[in-house]
Structure 1
Amino acid sequence: MTETTQDLESLRKRLNRIEGKRDELTVQQADLQAKLASVNGFLEIADSVTAALEQLGNDIFKRQLTLIENTMTKALQEVLEQPIVFKTNCTFKRDAASVEFLIERDGNPEDIMKGQGGSVANVVSVGLRMLAIATLDERRHRRFLVLDEQDCWLHPDLVPKLTQIVQRAGTELGFQVLMISHHDVTHFIRHADKVYRLSPDRGDGVGLEQVVADAPQEAENY
């Protein structure tokens, strides 16, 4: 084989390799173009999809607020026996929701903190706490709520109504509630699983007495 023939054979081999690489790159180019077309198609609808998801989220949030309004209105009217309506005012700014709570009586707005001498705040605070706990992941949070003097502004005659709602909600939602109160223990016996009376330490420890209907047990000191 002459030198010229060898050169031609070498060039032919290089050409074959180049053509093979060209074919490989052509396939890769076609694949990338297909992926690019898919991405461009997604980008074309991304804004509308994002807007739709945001609207869906807002609609779901508003439905939840409506549920809260109805639940809190029922609780307020049941405990206080007044024509009180619980309202929420929601605004969305910069992808965040801002919620304002208010009450109305006969269509007239009232301050929650001052409504009926503070009794409205008692009921609303209890209701919102219970609703918040109901949304927690049971795998990470124990459903246990402590209400420390959440009936402080309620008239004694209304305390059993609040206790009944707390007991019923706790049972339905599946969590325990510990209520601490300065009201007479007789207001809790009917709707509480257990009632205890604490008495001040007079030198021999704090008195602890379990109270049951018509049969109070002997006090124990601790």
Structure 2
Amino acid sequence: MKKFIYLLPLAILFASCTSQKNSEEFINKTSGRYLFNANEVLEIYFEDDVMHAKWRGNDDIKLLKVNDSAFYMQELNEKMLFVAKPEMHIELAEKVEHDGVKYYFQKMEEGAKTANEYFKAEEYQKAKEAYLKIQKKDSLNFLIEEYKINRLGYQFIRKDENDKALELFKINVALYPKSSNVYNSLGEAYFLKKDTVNAIANFKKSLEINSENKNSKKFLERLTQK
């Protein structure tokens, strides 16, 4: 810890003596959006050849140039290294606090979005594919926890946004096809959309997985009674 505290002011002092301008080639290579985590983006852009970033609602973060490929971001209290190979990405410089962990932020392809961005844009198929990709890479990622997605779906229902709830529950079914609860929630969404056929199908599926799901039983009896 002490080592980092002593070295950081020296790095900032050195950076203050370095021209903050960047070459056109470097600007072209590094401008763009980087995955900060599975569902969050750090965007790099330039004004008057000086590097800036957009991150977590702050659209004008100026990065301090340390050398031609390293920049200090005060908001993260990190020195970021821009590495072109094997493909353009950002690495955080080694630091005592990292405890040997390497941080790697991949540059996104032009036009690519995060799972959440696809969902907000109502590109639901792409959103589902993006969530499945997160699960394949890290099945324990907090962004794809079943109960969190389900809870968000019911938040949409409370706001009378049943279409969004329906699409989110579909994604949860794709992520957790062996869960009784996700089929029950999808059945409820279809029920609210007055789609009786699909509501019944999903309540039945819920009960196939867990015959003791009381909510699915209740809805199925209500929908199938003569």
Q: Which has the higher contact order (CA 8 A, sep 6+)?
A: 2
Q: TM-score, normalised by structure 2?
A: 0.29
Q: TM-score, normalised by structure 1?
A: 0.30
Q: Of the two, which has the highest radius of gyration?
A: 1
